Amino acid sequence: MIKTMIKKSFITGCLLLIISNLHGQNQNNLQVIGSSKNASPHAIDLWRSYRFGLFIHWGPSAGLGTPQSHSHARKSILNPSGSIPAEEYDLLYKKFNPIKYNPDNWLKLAHYAGMRYTVFVAKHHDGFCMFKTTQTDYNIMDTPYGKDVAEMFAEATRKEGMALGWQIAPKDWKQPDYNQTTHDKYNLFYENLITELSTKYGPVSVFWFDGIEPVGSDKWKDAPNQVAEIIRKNAPQALLSTHGGGPFDFISFEQLVGPFDRTQPWEMCEQINPSGWIFNKPMPTFPLRKLLRNLIYTISRDGNYLLDIGPMPDGSLYPPDSIRLTEFADFMKVNAEAIHGTRGGPYRDGDWGGATCKGRNVYLLISDRVGQEITLPPLSAKVIAAKRLDGKPLSWNSGKKGINFRFPDRSSEQNPLFICIKLELDKDAFALPVIDGQINLATSAKIIPSSVKDDNSTLNGPQNLFDNIASTVWDPNPKETVCYLEFDFGKITDIGSVSFTQIGQKTGWNNFYKYELKVRNDDKSEWKIISSQFTCLGGLPVIELEPTKTRYFRLEIQTTSGKAPIQISELRIFRPLF
């Protein structure tokens, strides 16, 4: 059993930092920020300052009721479960005529919603190029529309003052040399596409890759590094995402909020609509609360948030998606200064909400879970002033036990999704120590893991969950099909919410797992399930529970062979707020 106390000594902190630097297996061989293969610190800072971006998946398969590319039934191991025969899918572009395409309208709405950068899918796995290319006739110029939609999109980004990014899938289910004995020819084809995208459309801020698997390095050879070199030469200000097989500047998390990380730049991406990344079929958009919470928790953990919109086949935006963006715009009218140009912290997020900072200001984004009052721990700086960005009443006082905020007009029946309090300090906010906004009950509990990989508790043990270092993890035995963490609080304790998330993946994408949260009051009772989900580990940034009294708490995760290893980067258990 391991007992981890909330107080950490300076020596322990130094050791953890050393461990994190040596922890190559859990970092997925991360590139070192500032190396010659990475973007400049200025480019990284600029990208971080955008905080909120627009992702666009669009193409000839839009509106078919099936996923983009993954519905392509190429007869190979690459995509054996596609629902549309390859010979039919490969001719969809002959009918693609988006006569209502107006990227100016798209990007005006996106900018209004608070988005400051873009990632447009130039080529997905199906191989269709949504830009004018000399490398293949399978591109937008050979459709009935016959115009370079990428060029029009790039011009619209410049008009709105938004940064331009391209997504390109290294894999290709159409190009005949891909994954064949002639794959060297495909590598040259792929590099030539990168050259075109990095030279034809003006400054590029991001190149976003979508996976090299399952093709191995024996066929890719040095192509991923060559691609990076081409981009560094032609677009030196551009950041590279993970999943390109070569150097990268930021980690991509798909449909989950990653761990707090001020060192390695990272981004969370998700869809606005459950129909999929591309417009699939008419469906209600995700609730604003879900999307806005993921934005807030992402930036509070110092990441960027990339929200995907799938335009319809005719080039117009799906009206419910547009409405959701206008709701983001309403939030941004009041709270944009707490989003753009900020960094995460110094308070760690929790059930209460999260914090960002900029200069001598801290922004507290208070969630709808908070009633008319909240007290946060004291900062190691003097609070000179505090106000709500919406201008509504706020009373506050600061003392040795913390900072208390009261909202006279706020009732549980009328809570907005988030309100923002701006604190003015007497010193730089980003330089302050990172502290918990809520007490993490897990740090003072006895912890029993189901296992530890290689029996190496120093590198892989559960103490790594509490160090605010994203690259250190609890890593169980990969052969386990059910792994767990059990916490003994020592006495009956009230719990109200739980937060945990996994490390970012360099190859492959975040897997879905079934997990259960269980409680019991003594070691002889049966475990009681209080929450069960099938999702990414971190798909819910904070799991809201009915207030529960328990002595023991257990996180149990079920997995199968072939999935990415379960590597939990942080875990927190909170008391009820009310």
Q: Which two tokens stand for residue 528?
A: 């009681």
Give, as one character, the DSSP assignment of residue 350. Answer: B
In 410-510 the beta strands, taken as DSSP E runs, fall at 418-425, 435-436, 446-449, 482-502
Looking at the predicted structure, is the pLDDT value of residue 12 above 50?
no
Cis (ω within 30 of 0) for the bond into 346?
Answer: yes
Report whether 111 contacts 160 (CB < 8 A).
Answer: yes
d(CA 140, CA 149): 7
pLDDT tens track for 254-269: 999 999 999 999 999 9
Q: Say what the pLDDT of residue 76 is.
A: 56
- The pairing of strands 206-209 and 165-168 is parallel
Identify the structural domains of the chain with CATH numbers, from first to last: 2-20+440-574 (2.60.120.260), 43-334 (3.20.20.80), 343-436 (2.60.40)
Average pLDDT, the chain: 91
pLDDT tens track for 201-232: 999 999 999 999 889 999 999 999 999 999 99
Looking at the predicted structure, is the pLDDT value of residue 456 above 80?
yes
Report whether 438 contacts 495 (CB < 8 A).
Answer: no
Q: Say what the pLDDT of residue 550 is.
A: 98
Helix axes 223-234, 183-199, angle to 10 degrees: 20
Q: Say what the pLDDT of residue 11 is.
A: 36
d(CA 151, CA 47): 22
pLDDT tens track for 352-380: 999 999 999 999 999 999 989 999 999 99
Looking at the predicted structure, is the pLDDT value of residue 82 above 80?
no
Looking at the predicted structure, is the pLDDT value of residue 1 above 60?
no
pTM confidence score: 0.92
- The pairing of strands 266-271 and 251-254 is parallel
Looking at the predicted structure, is the pLDDT value of residue 526 above 80?
yes
Mean pLDDT of all residues in 281-304:
96
Range name among 308-317, 414-423, 434-443 with the lowest pLDDT average: 414-423
Q: Which two tokens stand for residue 9?
A: 């000594």
Q: Say what the pLDDT of residue 38 is.
A: 87
d(CA 38, CA 44): 9
Q: Which two tokens stand for residue 503?
A: 């490390």
Report whether 240 contacts 251 (CB < 8 A).
Answer: no
Alpha helices, DSSP H, located in 337-413: none
Indicate the SS3 state at residue 249: coil
User: Which H or E element spans position 525?
Assistant: none
Report whether 302 contacts 354 (CB < 8 A).
Answer: no
Longest dimension (CA), the chain: 71
